[in-house]
Amino acid sequence: MPDEKPTLDQEHLPAKLGTEFITTFYRLLKGTTLYDRKSAVIDRLTQECLQVVNGIIQWEGNLLLKIVRDHFFFNNNWIIASADNYLTFKVFWQEMRKRRIGGMEFSEALSGEHLKDLVYLLSGLEENNESNYLSVKEQLEHRNIESIEVGKLELSKDEDISIDSEGLKKYSKEVYFRSIGFVKEVVESIHQQKPLPIRKAKRLMQYAVNAVMKDDSTLLGLVNIKNYDEDTFNHSVNVAIYAIALGQRIGIPKKHLSHLGMAGLFHDMGKTKIPEEILNKTEKLSPEEWSIMRSHPVVGTELIMRMKEWGELSARMMEGAFEHHLRYDLTGYPRLTQKKRITLFGRIVTIADFYDALVRPRVSLRFPYVSEKILGIMLERSGKDFDPAIVKVFINMIGVFPLGTLALLNTHEMGIVTQTQEDTELLDRPKVCLIYYSDGEYRKGKVVDLREMDEVSGDFKRSIVKTLNPNEYNINVAEFFI
Ligand SMILES: [Fe+2]
Ligand SMILES: [Fe+2]
């Protein structure tokens, strides 16, 4: 065995190189949709990618990237995204899948021009065309590029490839509203001391997991729905959705994600036992009222404990109910007599709960905070109230301008952020649905992409100047997602 490579490096090297390749290649591919082949940006991105590619070829002899289902294999090593590059991996995977390209191989060091040829060929492919890989092969042959191979994406039969974005939107909406209906049903069952429809909860959360895994933007848009009368129902469903989306990003396996959703859905179950007068009180609570309010984590845990039919799931759900106000450093409530560590589910539900509680208007909080402010508070309290690593991922997920943000643009237009960019470098350039006023009422205008460039000046056509509070403008953000 040659021993020029240290053991540690040898173990981590494929993951590191594979990640570097995916990151730089994806950036270049994305660049082709925005910039001309001759532009300086493309030159820079090409050089960055080329350096990685040729470095790998020099080191390993060749470079082979293969996509099998939703996994990447780099020179036959399975590589997993870390929290930091999760989004890049996911979007790159979506881009390749759309084009039905299942991998590529470079057998020799490349020139910049050949690399550009490849990315522009890939970039120009039709969506969902099975023979795309053949046309790329032909084009490469035609240009005498022999060192690059591309492969077809093999889809397994059970993979549901036909669901389009409209279909997914519909599906997500259905999951969302059915979940709200379900929470209502649960609350009634508790009041009437009837057994809870547990199978239904599991199924709904599995649907939610499916929707989030395909594309979480619709569900994360729906959480903006304001509902003063049924606040608790929406809140429970929102916490479940944030928890699932967050859990997915930190790599919790699919089968546990639905349990996490359940833990979110039932975290405030104890509130069903708190008198309405206290729950809905807008004035300051008296110390007695506060202590009743603060009993809801324990009451909720007791309710869950009593449901034996939940089996192993009940332990997971108790984590959400019992721990969501406990805080990372255990300074919250209920007070503990013994030190313990907050569970992963508990830490996730805490973050989801805190954010949702502040971002939406409630009886007790007429003007909710704008998202930036809440994320700021969360960052400040990271390590005290919240798990610092998970907060970081959460902030990344919500983004600089999350869905539903009311933005003022440099063109003096106003609009609602309706789609965020998955590319972390373009988080400040979402798609915005413009708003205009007619007869004293606001209307939805066209949707503009803030990545759009002005051809003459070479600058972006529109940029966000600042965010505004939609409630102060009487704008119902949810309308933009339904
Ligand atoms: Fe709570
Ligand atoms: Fe809550």
Does pLDDT of 72 surpass 90? no
Q: Kindly give the distance from the C-alpha atom of residue 297 to the centroid of ligand 2, in angstroms, as a whole number.
A: 10
**Token pair for residue 30?**
């994305």
209-222: average pLDDT: 81
Q: Compute, in angstroms, the gap from residue 239 CA to the centroid of ligand 2.
A: 7
Does residue 433 have a pLDDT over 90?
yes
More confident residue, 329 or 374: 329
Place of tokens 């721990």: 323
Calpha distance 475→472 (Å, rounded): 8
> Which residues neighbour ligand 2 (ion) by CB within 5 Å?
268, 353
Tell me how far apart the alpha carbons of residues 272 and 196 are, in angstroms, rounded to a whole number. Answer: 14
Task: Tell me the mean pLDDT in the region 290-310.
Answer: 89
Cα(122) to centroid(ligand 1), Å: 49
Q: Which of 195-204, 233-242, 307-316 has the highest mean pLDDT?
A: 233-242
Residue 202 Cα to ligand 2 middle (Å): 20
Residue 169 and residue 3: Cα distance in Å, rounded?
54
Determine the Cα–Cα distance for residues 401 and 220; give it in Å rounded to an integer: 13
Rg over CA atoms, the chain: 25
CA of 220 to the centre of ligand 2 (A): 17
Residue 285 CA to ligand 1 centre (angstroms) = 16
Long-range pairs for 180-186: beta carbons < 8 A, 24 or more residues apart: 180/230, 180/233, 180/234, 180/237, 183/232, 183/233, 183/236, 183/237, 183/265, 184/230, 184/233, 186/266, 186/269
Distance of CA 119 to the CA centre of its chain: 27
How far does the centroid of ligand 2 lie from the alpha carbon of residue 247, in Å? 18
- What confidence score (pLDDT) does residue 10 get? 57
SS3 of the chain: the string is CCCCCCHHHHHHHHHHHHHHHHHHHHHHHHHHCCCCCCCHHHHHHHHHHHHHHHHHHHHHCCEEEEEECCEEEECCEEECCCCCCHHHHHHHHHHHHHCCEEEEEECCCCCHHHHHHHHHHHHCCCCCCCCHHHHHHHHHHHCCCCCEEEEECCCCCCCCCCCCHHHHHHHHHHHHHHHHHHHHHHHHHHHCCCCCCHHHHHHHHHHHHHHHHHCCHHHHHHCCCCCCCCHHHHHHHHHHHHHHHHHHHCCCCHHHHHHHHHHHHCCCHHHHHCCHHHHCCCCCCCHHHHHHHCCHHHHHHHHHHCCHHHCHHHHHHHHHHHHCCCCCCCCCCCCCCCCCCCCHHHHHHHHHHHHHHHHCCECCECCCCCHHHHHHHHHHCECCCECHHHHHHHHHHHCCCCCCCEEEECCCCEEEEEECCCCHHHCCCCEEEEEEEECCEEEEEEEEECCCECCCCCCECCCEEEEECHHHHCCCHHHHCC
Q: What pLDDT, on the 0 to 100 scale, is given for residue 193?
A: 85
Chain position carrying tokens 């933005």: 407
**Ligand 2 center to 469 CA (angstroms):** 23
Residue 411, φ and ψ in degrees, nearest 5: -90, 10
Check pLDDT > 90 for residue 400.
no
Ligand 2 centroid vs 152 CA: distance in angstroms? 47
71: nearest Cα among 52, 98, 92: 92
Q: Percent of the chain, pLDDT > 70? A: 91
- The predicted pLDDT at position 230 comes to 65
**268 CA to centre of ligand 2 in angstroms:** 5
Residue 347 has pLDDT above 90, yes or no: yes
* Among 392, 418, 398, 390, CA closest to 406: 418
| Band of pLDDT at residue 68, cut at 50, 70 and 90 | confident
Cα(267) to ligand 2 centroid in Å equals: 6
For residue 342, pLDDT beyond 90: yes
Question: Mean of the pLDDT values across residues 458-463?
Answer: 87
Task: Say if residue 470 is preceded by a cis peptide, omega within 30 of 0.
Answer: no
Q: What percent of the chain shows pLDDT beyond 90?
A: 42
Read off the pLDDT of each residue in 351-369 and give the average, rounded to a whole number: 72
Mean pLDDT throughout 92-119?
93
Å from CA of 357 to ligand 1 middle: 9
Q: Are 407 and 464 in contact (CB under 8 A)?
A: yes
CA of 303 to the centre of ligand 1 (A): 14
- Rounded mean pLDDT, 404-423: 86
Backbone angles phi, psi at 304, to 5 degrees: -70, -40
Q: What is the mean pLDDT of residues 330-342?
A: 89
| pLDDT confidence bin for 247, thresholds 50/70/90 | very high
Residue 394 alpha carbon to ligand 2 centre in Å: 17
149's tokens:
């191979």
The model's confidence at residue 399, banded by pLDDT at 50, 70 and 90, is confident
Structure token pair of residue 153: 């994406």
Q: Render pLDDT for 7-43 as a digit per residue (tens, 0 to 9).
A: 445 557 888 899 999 999 999 999 998 888 999 999 9
CB-based burial label for 238 (10 Å; 0-12, 13-18, 19+): buried
Examine the pLDDT at 161 and tell me if it is beyond 60: no
- Residue 162 has what pLDDT? 47
Mean pLDDT on 396-420: 85
Ligand number with the minimum distance to the CA of 232: 2
**Cβ(260)–Cβ(246) under 8 Å?**
no
CA distances from 93 to 29, 182, 253 (A): 12, 34, 18
Q: Which ligand is nearest to the CA of 236?
A: 2
Confidence at residue 172, expressed as pLDDT on a 0 to 100 scale: 85
Look up tokens 């902030």; give the residue.
395
Mean pLDDT rounded to a whole number for the chain: 85
Query: How many angstroms is it from 321 CA to the middle of ligand 2?
Result: 9
pLDDT at position 3: 42
Mean pLDDT of 415-438: 83
- Express each pLDDT in 116-137 by its tens digit: 999 999 999 988 888 899 999 9
Give the residue, 4 or 109, on which the prediction is more confident: 109
pTM of the predicted protein model:
0.67
CA distances from 156 to 128, 262, 421 (A): 15, 29, 28
**Cα of 346 to ligand 1 centre, how many Å?**
12
* Residue 75 tokens, joined: 């020179």
Residue 209: pLDDT band with limits 50, 70, 90: very high
Residues in the chain: 482
Lowest mean pLDDT among 17-31, 138-152, 396-410, 419-433: 419-433
Residue whose C-alpha is closest to residue 262's, from 325, 217, 200, 218: 200
Token pair 């979007």 in the structure block, residue? 91
Ligand 2 midpoint to CA 237 (Å): 10
Cα 349 to ligand 2 centroid, rounded to whole Å = 9
Distance 297 CA to ligand 1 centre (A): 7
Find the 293 Cα to ligand 1 centroid distance in Å.
9
Checking if the pLDDT of 88 tops 50, the result is: yes
Average pLDDT for 159-167: 56
Q: Which ligand is nearest to the CA of 264?
A: 2
Looking at per-residue pLDDT, the higher value among 396 and 235 belongs to 235
pLDDT at 119: 96
